[in-house]
Amino acid sequence: MIESQSQSNLMSQLPAGHSMKHFACNLIYNDGGEGAYVGFEGRCSAENIIYNIKHGSGRWCSQPACSCRRFYNRGFKGKVDEFPCCESQLFENWEWDPGSEYKTGEPFRISQSGRGKIAILTTRFPNSTESDRKIIGFLKIKSLTENGHKVVALKRESLRLPLDEAKELNFWNFHRNKKNLKPEWKQGRFRYLEDDQVAAILHDLKDIVQNETTQSIITGILRSDFEKYSKTRPKVEGCIREDVGKKVFFKRKYGKGGESKEHKKLKEYISQHPDEIGLTRNKVRAFVEHQYISGDMVDILFKSLHGNKNTVVEIELDNVLPGIHQAIKYRVLRCSELGLSLTDRNVRAVIVAWSFSLEEKALCRKYAIDFFEVKLN
Q: What is the pLDDT of residue 249?
A: 64
CATH 2.102.10.10 assigned to domain 254-373? The reply is: no
Which DSSP symbol is given to 234? P
Q: What is the pLDDT of residue 165?
A: 92
Q: What is the pLDDT of residue 336?
A: 96
Q: What is the pLDDT of residue 8?
A: 42
Output the CA–CA distances (angstroms, integers) from residue 217 to 98, 158, 211, 214, 224, in the order listed: 26, 8, 10, 5, 11
**Per-10-residue mean pLDDT, the chain, length 377:** 38 52 94 95 93 76 86 90 91 90 80 94 94 96 85 95 93 88 86 95 90 91 94 88 67 69 93 96 94 88 94 92 94 96 95 94 96 93
Contact assessment for residue 48 and residue 56, using Cβ atoms and an 8 Å cutoff: no
Q: What is the pLDDT of residue 240?
A: 79
Domain with CATH 3.40.1350.10 in the chain: 254-373
- Three-state secondary-structure class, residue 314: strand
Prediction pTM value: 0.72
Q: What is the pLDDT of residue 62?
A: 81
Q: What is the pLDDT of residue 57?
A: 52
Give the residue ranges of DSSP H helices in 14-163. 46-54, 67-73
CB within 8 Å of 315: residues ≥ 6 apart: 263, 266, 267, 270, 299, 300, 323, 351, 352, 353
Which residues sit opposite 352 in a β-bridge? 315, 372
- Geometric angle at alpha carbon 316, from 311 and 319, rounded to 5°: 140
Q: Please give the order of strands across the beta sheet that includes 284-291.
A: 284-291, 297-304, 310-315, 347-353, 370-373
Q: What is the pLDDT of residue 95?
A: 94
- Three-state secondary-structure class, residue 177: coil
CB within 8 Å of 155: residues ≥ 6 apart: 94
